Amino acid sequence: MLVLGILGSLALLLFLGWILGRIAEYFTLPSLVGMLLAGICLGPYGLNFLNQELLDVSPALRTVALLIILLRAGLSFAKEDLRKVRGVALGLSIIPCLFEGVTLLFVARSILGLGWAESGVLGFTLAAVSPAVVVPAMLTLHSEGYGQDKQIPAMLLAGAALDDVFAITLFGVFLLFATGQATSVLWSLVQLPWNITAGILGGFVLGLLLVQGFRRLPVKDWEKLLLTVIAAVLFWELGERFAFAGLLGIMVMGLVLRERSSAFAHRLIAHLSGVWLVAQIVLFSLVGAQVNVGVLWQAGLMGIIVIFLGLLGRSLGVWIAISSTNLNVKERFFCVIAYLPKATVQAAIGGVPLALGLESGELILAISAMAILLTAPLGAVGIRKGAPLLLEKKSMV
């Protein structure tokens, strides 16, 4: 068995992720499919070529990559576009998550025989959509003009950024029940409005501070990029420590930069697009490296059924959330497809119940891994193939 050093492991991961990503694109598949496979092949559950130190810092590297794409999202959309869809985006962030989580709660209870608390843990582990898949896909569709007349990319992007806040909060609530700490549940629910409000306000203030600082300091564009990324990382760290929506705040920070310093924002988008070419390989290949293919057998056919039923619940929730919009049937069907993929959240929290000693921890981890392998490629391919068929394309002339 060959285990490389941390730099060699990263270089090999980037190289194989790039190669398999290009191969996937050759077969008209999204490049992330190849990147996920690269991580699975090289990771500890595949050939085991990756250094453990790289795997130990994998969550941090994945987070930085996610911050970059959310910052780019904030910089790419006009405030007016997001204001028009804010009500629908809020519905998309809550209703599909609740429908999927509650559906899975009853499914896991009746089919898998889990207790109510552990069923809820499984349900809201799977209930989060993946911003790492949805956000870059929506940015691509926005740049190509698909669905722009009705702000469909902006609507789905904003909803995906908030969806995780609700899923992770409710996951934490059921985990407290499952581990016998139910006295903290009410406090966890009370924190939810604070989580969102503090994230938005914090991102707004930080964006203003950056704008004023860049106007006063004689710094070059690449230095502004560096300072912006540093600010995003530190803000996310504060969000983790004080329980507010750091990811949402970073997108708001990008919006403020775009509104208050438009010329710089456009240059920053160009720089971030170049950084994203590398960051996406790091993100998706390291997500793949977390997938334990061996435990998939434990989930088996029953795991596939559970995931499928949960997606039916999510799809119904999406349809209800957009029922008051002027979208036609094809556009609504596209929204359902775009909200299928799982990846980052499941990779991050799928192993937590096992680490805390829950009896069903291995099963939850196995179904989480299966959800990533099934839905991330399915959603990504569905978005890429479905957009030309289901969405109107705005002329970019």
- pLDDT tens digit sequence for 192-245: 677 778 888 999 999 999 999 988 888 888 888 899 999 999 998 888 787 677
Residue 396's pLDDT band (cuts 50, 70, 90): low
* Residues constituting the chain: 397
Scored b (16 or more CB within 10 A) or e, 141-155 reads bbebbbbbebbbbbb
- CATH topology for 57-390? Na+/H+ antiporter like fold (1.20.1530)
Task: Provide the pLDDT confidence category of residue 354 given band limits of 50, 70 and 90.
Answer: confident
Spatial contact of 160 and 129, defined as CB atoms under 8 Å apart: yes
Angle, alpha carbons 290-384-62 (nearest 5°): 25
Task: Provide the residue ranges of all domains of the chain, joining segments of one domain with +.
Answer: 57-390
CA atoms 374, 171, 153, 243: torsion sign: negative
Q: Are 303 and 350 in contact (CB under 8 A)?
A: no
69-116 residue pLDDT tens: 888 888 887 777 667 777 888 899 889 999 999 999 999 999 988 988
Q: Please count the other Cβ atoms lying within 10 Å of the Cβ belonging to residue 316.
A: 16
Looking at residue 242, its pLDDT comes to 77
> Which two structure tokens, joined as six digits, stand for 144?
């190509």
268 pLDDT exceeds 90?
A: no
| Cα 24 off chain centre by | 21
- How would residue 307 be classed by pLDDT, with cut points 50, 70 and 90? very high
* Average confidence score pLDDT of the chain: 86
What is the arithmetic mean of pLDDT over 149-173?
85
pLDDT band at 393 (very low <50, low <70, confident <90, very high): confident
